[in-house]
Amino acid sequence: MVEPTRDDIDALVGSATPHFAPQLRARVRKLIADLPLDHPVRRYGEEQMELLQRLGLASSRAEDGGLEPRSRIGWDTVPSSAPASDPLPGRE
């Protein structure tokens, strides 16, 4: 197999949604599994896996823009408004 690149990881993670984050995290893990621990692509893949972990507990990547205020009409009908940068607590 050809050595994976950052572009390969970006192709998997780039359009990730909360619903598919766990599956994509597993694919990134498999992609980088054979790389040495200090390999830059492996380190990048691990960073992206952390993002996917947070995204799996969020409702959006929402890297840009602010959060909607809780006073917004209909707020109580939104199941989750947590962005990947500040996800909901995990279940343990």
Please write the tens of the pLDDT for every residue from 49-87.
999 988 887 766 655 556 667 777 776 666 566 677 777
Mean pLDDT of 3-11: 95
1/12: higher pLDDT? 12
Nearest to 27 by CA among 14, 37, 13, 43: 13
Query: Over the chain, what is the mean pLDDT?
Result: 82
Looking at residue 60, what DSSP letter applies?
B
Question: In sequence order, which residues have a C-beta less than 8 Å from that of residue 48 and are 6 or more positions away?
Answer: 9, 10, 12, 13, 28
The one-letter code for the residue type at 87 is P
Give the largest CA-CA distance in the chain. 53
pTM of this prediction? Answer: 0.69
